[in-house]
Amino acid sequence: MIFTPTIKDILECRIDAYFNNKEYSSTTLYKYYDSLITGIKGKRCLYNSKGNTESVNGVLIRTTSDNFKIPITSLNNNQLFPSLEADIVFVFTDDYGDRNICHWMTEQLLVLNYLIDLLTYLHNKKNDVEDNHSLVSAVSPVSPVSPLDIKVVINRHPRHSMYRIIRDYLSKIPYLDSTSIIEMDFEDGSLYQEDILLEYKGLKTKHCFVGHAIKNTLHTIYNGWNTLHQRLVLYDSNQLELYSKQNTQQCNHFYMSRRNLLDPTKKTNTRVLDNLDEISDIITGKGYTEIFTDELKTLEERMYLFKKAKSIVCELGAGMHNLLYCSDGITIYVMFQKNNYSWLQEYFPLFKQKDLTVVFLSGETTCSEHNGNWLNTPWTLNLNELDVLPSV
């Protein structure tokens, strides 16, 4: 591991390495020099300067197996679909990190701090001719270009509910132009820019940065998450008020419902509450507005909804990471099955940090079968548990 306090040191490092900065919680930044990134058969492949695939771990970088591995020269010599060249490429995860808001917030969202560092450093140097010449020489000695030549690569096909969230967060980063955001289809490495298919497959770069925050949990995420949100260009409170009047349904008490996930086309509800419809009807009958968080259209809408909430009813799940947007001191009612208690405990630091009043409504597992994750077993909630839920 290499520790460095400045993004300048990271930029000028000419070896494959990784960097750690405690200010950003348990996040690290991996840098690969003279590398190529592409996609093959749904997997993201990152080749280092020696032509070998790189894998930081089994989650954040889904590199190909040996059966898929191809020589880097065959990609470089592909005349029909040449690789796009960029001096600096910043890569986000292709699988878990854009599967749902839980994985995005803990695995990738804090990595934006590093990207902001990088963009800020380049922006501050762009008008300094001497520093520009030095930086360009360090980054791309063969074919110098502007030091602002940076591409940010995201998955072309994340889970539907995550596409807008990821794009919205990237749009709030200072100095990041929308044309610098490149979407990659991991089936074949095809590249898109603002929905326009480019005549390239894969990117070649002198400096490839891959964010890594898999060690983050709700024990460590809070400070880094707050740091990030102070650096993004977000709406202030007055703008959010105006935005809400134009776009957001007013509701101080709402129910984060998973009922829409019963739709088989969603293909996301792997943990089924057997009496979900009946439970949902009782909750809404008590005056709580039913909200489907995966259908919220914008980041502003999501932030305002949770910031203005006074009480929230929810089911234990990834969507509870949205509670990070809540104001302090509100009341949360959490429905969960008893065999998921260890998972529920992961949210205890968040409850404490935001001084939430939390009421637990526990149910019973009805079947031991699951989808490979022992947490995702069918369960039921006794209707009497909802007696503690006040009408609003």
CATH number at residue 347: 3.40.50
Residue 68 has pLDDT above 50, yes or no: no
Residue 90 has pLDDT above 90, yes or no: yes
| Residue ranges of E strands in 145-288 | 150-155, 181-184, 190-193, 196-201, 203-212, 253-256
Q: What's the confidence (pLDDT) of residue 140?
A: 46
pTM of the model: 0.84
pLDDT digits (tens, 9 = 90+) for 237-252: 666 666 666 655 568 9
Q: What's the confidence (pLDDT) of residue 55?
A: 54
Does 313 map to a domain? yes
- The answer to whether residues 102 and 30 belong to one domain is yes
Domain stop point among 170, 196, 212: 212
Report which of residues 200 and 73 the model is more confident about: 200
How many Cβ atoms sit within 10 Å of the Cβ of residue 4?
16
Structure tokens at 297: 């259209």
Report which of residues 76 and 137 the model is more confident about: 137
- The answer to whether residues 131 and 17 belong to one domain is yes
Range from 101-110, 254-263, 334-343 that averages highest in pLDDT: 334-343
Does 328 map to a domain? yes
- The answer to whether residues 53 and 161 belong to one domain is yes
Residue 148 has pLDDT above 70, yes or no: no
Mean pLDDT score across all residues of the chain:
81
Segment 189-193 mean pLDDT:
92
- The answer to whether residues 200 and 242 belong to one domain is no
Report which of residues 43 and 9 the model is more confident about: 9
User: Of 293, 254, 192, which Cα lies nearest the Cα of 392?
Assistant: 254
Q: What's the confidence (pLDDT) of residue 194?
A: 85
Q: What's the confidence (pLDDT) of residue 24?
A: 83
Report which of residues 47 and 80 the model is more confident about: 47
Does 227 map to a domain? no
Does 207 map to a domain? yes
How many Cβ atoms sit within 10 Å of the Cβ of residue 204?
21
- Distance in angstroms (rounded) separating the CA atoms of residues 127 and 186: 37
Question: Which range marks the domain in which residue 61 is found?
Answer: 2-212
**Percent share of the chain, pLDDT over 70:** 77
User: Of 387, 389, 390, 364, which Cα lies nearest the Cα of 377?
Assistant: 364
Q: What's the confidence (pLDDT) of residue 26?
A: 83
Q: What's the confidence (pLDDT) of residue 262?
A: 67
- Distance in angstroms (rounded) separating the CA atoms of residues 258 and 163: 19
Query: Which residues, other chains included, contact 163 with Cβ-Cβ below 8 Å and sequence gap of 6+?
Result: none
Segment 309-327 mean pLDDT:
95
Give the confidence band of 196 by pLDDT, cuts at 50, 70, 90: very high
Q: What's the confidence (pLDDT) of residue 34?
A: 87
Structure tokens at 290: 């039913």
Range from 94-108, 234-248, 372-386 that averages highest in pLDDT: 372-386
Does 38 map to a domain? yes
- The answer to whether residues 240 and 208 belong to one domain is no
- The answer to whether residues 201 and 261 belong to one domain is no
Q: What's the confidence (pLDDT) of residue 243?
A: 61
